[in-house]
Amino acid sequence: MSAYYLQQLLNGLMLGSLYALIAIGFSMIYGIVRLINFAHGDLLMVGAFTTLGLASTGLLPWWAIALLVLVTGALSGITIERVAIRPMRGAPQVTGFIATLAVSVVIENGGLILLSGQPRTFLFPEIMRSRVTIGPASVAAVDLVIIGSTLLLCVLLLLFVRGTRMGRAMRALADNLLAARLMGIDVDRTIMAAFAIGSAFAAFAGLLWGGRFGQIDPLIGFAPGLKAFVACVIGGVGSIGGAVLGGYLLGLAEVMFVGMLPPIYSGYRDAFVFATLILVLLLMPNGLLGRPEEDRA
Amino acid sequence: MTAPPFLPGPKAALAMLGAAAVVAFADLYLSTYAVTLLSLVMLNVALAVSLQLTNGLTGLFSLGHPAFMTVGGYVAAILTYPVRRKGFMMPDLPDWLATAQWDLLPATLVGAAVAALLALVVGIAVLRLKGHYLAVATLGLIVIVRVVINNLDGYTRGGLGLSGVPRLTGPWEVLVFTLLTVGLVWRIKHASLGRAMMAMRENELAARCMGIDAFALKLLAFVLGAFLAGAAGALTVHLVSVITPGAYGIPLAFSLVVMVVVGGSGSITGAVLAAIAISLLSEFARPLEEGLELYGLSQVLVALGLILVLRLRPTGLFGSREPAGLGRPRFSGGTS
């Protein structure tokens, strides 16, 4: 494989990791409450600015910052659930979408008011920017950190969902919420946990996103959030494995689209992603790993 | 009752005359700014009511109105643009377009038809699925339309936008369009078509069991909404004389949804009143935002207000109803 293709492959894996991290939360939340959380992408912004704020104090080591970002993300997710989603439970589905859309508007414009729309420079420590050579290609260390930490978080999540009581409760809720409640599962707590985990992942993606691209502003979460949803749909909404798979596929496809076609098309990058969404919905509405939803009376 | 009531009820007729009187008064005595503001408010009313058809009556959740407005606006603007400036502004146009300079009405109709065609393609792909996919697909559609227009700069001048579009739209054209839109949606709502739509919104499975072709009905509501949005976009462009790829974006999609929800999903009167109130409110909030240098404040307030409405009065101001006396007294219009 030539250096160029290996380079593109690594870029695709890096981008795919970020999409996967965001998509996992979308999928967990959708799987349980059947709701697309439009505010989910904005947690990326929350994570990125939390990181920037903590790093600029210079007091904390990076592992502590990463931990605090995860906690902030989880708390934000819990807040969103309490303010905008729990009160709407039982209302028509559309009500829930509109509520999360409103939350997203509040977060984005609140960010613009409090943090101003000026993009800010975001610097990872020097060592992250050093180049690492892999065969014929060379990548920034941060790319490897992104891919590595994503895989680590995925494995941890898998162990959690398969092996703990709470994880089992989540799967039961996703299967059949009513039956799960009858079995004595605390529905409120489980939904809150799903929001906390999904949102923590999205905020962590924000830390990595800022570190990789070097500039952040209050609206950075919007586009990756939408694209992560596309990744979810490709993989099959509601399936965590599907979200990861879809994230990587979308990341690779997007990088290939930009890297392999003549440069005049690269302006169409975002259009390509959403055209893929519509195509996937047309051909395989349940995605790669999703289960068909039957109509229940 | 036997004959279908083509004429509005007494109160509705009064409201229409009132609207015409306001337009006449503004046209005669008020500043250009006030007339333009009035026209934009009326266009928002038309947009909210057309979204009411798609989202409120049929229970879809489309955010695509801004995309359809952009498409309708650009298509119509290219058709009406002065020929002598076309070569300079849009060098890639084929000859038959480069030498065409249409009137407002045919250009608006073609713009709306292109928007409807786009909706047809997207709708066929997405409407077979559960409603929430439509929300994301239409959000994606806004992005696609913006990106494509940005990149087709030989036709659209890309990110610079088209300026100097002839000002062909006046308040009277807008008034006629708005009344036609409201009338059309009102007729649909109170005909069997509208009742089928509302039945589907309440329980799709049950509606299908009663013989309603859910897919066709959804497609109709989506495409018709897009047609009206495209026409509104075309009229807006010829009112303000400029269009840019990002002029109608996600904030607009959000405000329109807010108008529908606050007014009450399915209530045309509600959508009209909410559209008037919210458009005027955000217009008057603008100097406040500039004074305090808190840009985006009005959006935050609208969003928080929306969450409050959803929590306290989930059905909006009017629910699905219309106030008594607006229509003929044969069908009250509620779904309860």
Q: What is the pLDDT of residues B15-44, one digit of tens each?
A: 888 888 888 888 888 888 889 999 999 999
CA distance B299 to chain A (A): 7
A121 phi/psi in degrees, rounded to 5: -80, 140
CA distance B117 to chain A (A): 16
What CA–CA distance (Å, rounded) separates B158 from A178? 52
How far from A155 is each of A70, A135, A193, CA to CA, in Å?
16, 27, 18
A182 phi/psi in degrees, rounded to 5: -65, -25
What CA–CA distance (Å, rounded) separates B188 from B266? 11
**Bridge partner residues of A132 (DSSP):** A139
* More confident of the two residues A94 and B125: B125
- Give the contacts of A221 (CB within 8 A, at least 6 positions apart): A41, A42, A43, A44, A45, A46, A48, A108, A206
Nearest CA in chain A to B303: A102
Quote the Cα angle for B195-B229-B184, to 5°: 40
Please check whether residue B222 lies inside any domain of the structure: yes
Asked if residues A52 and A65 have their Cβ atoms less than 8 Å apart, the reply is: no
Mean pLDDT highest for which of A105-114, B4-13, B288-297?
Answer: A105-114
Instruction: Output the pTM of the full model.
Output: 0.85
Please check whether residue B328 lies inside any domain of the structure: no
What CA–CA distance (Å, rounded) separates A254 from A261? 11
Set of chain B residues whose Cβ sits within 8 Å of the Cβ of A97:
61, 132, 135
Looking at residue B249, its pLDDT comes to: 87
Query: Looking at the partner chain, which of B144, B205, B304 has a beta carbon nearest the beta carbon of A275?
Result: B144
pLDDT tens per residue, range B37-82: 999 999 999 999 999 999 888 888 889 999 999 999 999 999 998 8
CA distance A106 to chain B (A): 5
Please check whether residue B5 lies inside any domain of the structure: no
User: Cβ–Cβ of B307/A101 closer than 8 Å?
Assistant: no
Please check whether residue B306 lies inside any domain of the structure: no
Per-residue pLDDT 10s for chain A (297 aa) are: 577 888 888 889 999 999 999 999 988 998 888 888 889 999 999 999 999 888 888 788 888 999 999 999 999 999 999 988 888 877 777 778 888 888 998 999 888 888 887 888 877 777 777 788 777 777 888 888 899 999 999 999 999 998 999 999 998 888 888 898 999 999 999 999 999 999 999 999 999 998 888 888 888 888 898 889 889 888 888 788 899 999 999 999 988 888 877 877 777 888 888 888 888 877 887 778 777 665 544
pLDDT tens per residue, range B81-91: 888 877 777 88
Q: What is the average pLDDT across B243-270?
A: 88
User: Cβ–Cβ of B147/A108 closer than 8 Å?
Assistant: no
pLDDT tens per residue, range B277-291: 888 888 887 787 777
Is A42 in a helix, a strand, or coil? helix
User: Cβ–Cβ of B294/A270 closer than 8 Å?
Assistant: no
Question: Which ipTM did the prediction report?
Answer: 0.79
Chain B contact probe: residue of A93, A109, A265, A283 with most B CBs at under 10 A: A109
Please check whether residue B187 lies inside any domain of the structure: yes
CA distance B31 to chain A (A): 32
User: How many domains is chain B partitioned into structurally?
Assistant: 1
User: Cβ–Cβ of A295/B136 closer than 8 Å?
Assistant: no
Looking at residue A1, its pLDDT comes to: 58
Q: Which helix (H) or strand (E) holds A48?
A: helix A42-57
Set of chain A residues whose Cβ sits within 8 Å of the Cβ of B296:
108-110, 112-113
| Residues spanned by the domain of B205 | 10-248
Nearest CA in chain A to B312: A87
User: Cβ–Cβ of B303/A293 closer than 8 Å?
Assistant: no
Looking at residue B156, its pLDDT comes to: 83
Please check whether residue B230 lies inside any domain of the structure: yes
Please check whether residue B112 lies inside any domain of the structure: yes
Please check whether residue B103 lies inside any domain of the structure: yes
